[in-house]
Amino acid sequence: MLRSLLIDAEKCTGCVQCELACSYENEGLFNPAKSRIRVFTFHHEGRFVPYTCTQCAEAWCMQACPVDAITLDGDTGAKVVNAAVCVGCKVCTIACPFGTVNYSSDSGKVVKCDLCAGDPACAKACPTGAITYVDADQTGFEKMRAWAGKTDAGSAASA
């Protein structure tokens, strides 16, 4: 059974433990700016919304990559950047309509959530249960995927 990150923004306190855990897991340092999951702040409502790649079925990033550097991990369903193949052209960063593939000028490559190979550090670090890693069909990610369909040039709608 594929699992997905389930984000329940109602439970998020904005502590950014997820950002720290992600950056430490992937970059070896505690630096929220390098995290692949980000907590967005809605000051006017005092709300926080953690957000990262939904591993969407359309895989805009993977489709757009001109050098085959983003591939599907069959075990986790994650779309994974192979840094050794990525040339750093950044096309995926404009192709992803969710804004969740980003260029890192430090590495000259793009980075995105890869679900930590099936053991996501963000979910483990979240103290309030706002981020959990659960069976994919429970996540309500279908809603987000529906939006992916809406932003499609036509290919998702009837594919």
Residues lying near other proteins in the complex (CB under 8 A) are found at: 9, 38, 40-42, 45, 47, 49, 51, 60, 63-64, 66-68, 85, 87-105, 143-144, 147, 150-155, 157-159
Alpha-carbon torsion (120, 73, 9, 27), positive or negative: positive
Identify which of residues 32 and 118 has a Cβ nearer to other proteins in the complex.
Answer: 32
Identify which of residues 135 and 150 has a Cβ nearer to other proteins in the complex.
Answer: 150
- In angstroms, give the least distance from the CB of 110 to other proteins: 9
Q: Which residue reads 């430090």 in tokens?
A: 106
CA–CA distance, 150 with 138 (Å, rounded to integer): 22
Q: 3-class DSSP state for residue 151?
A: coil
- In angstroms, give the least distance from the CB of 107 to other proteins: 12
- In angstroms, give the least distance from the CB of 119 to other proteins: 25
Q: Is 90 exposed, middle or buried (0-12, 13-18, 19+ CB in 10 A)?
A: middle
Helix H or strand E encompassing 102: strand 102-104
- In angstroms, give the least distance from the CB of 135 to other proteins: 21
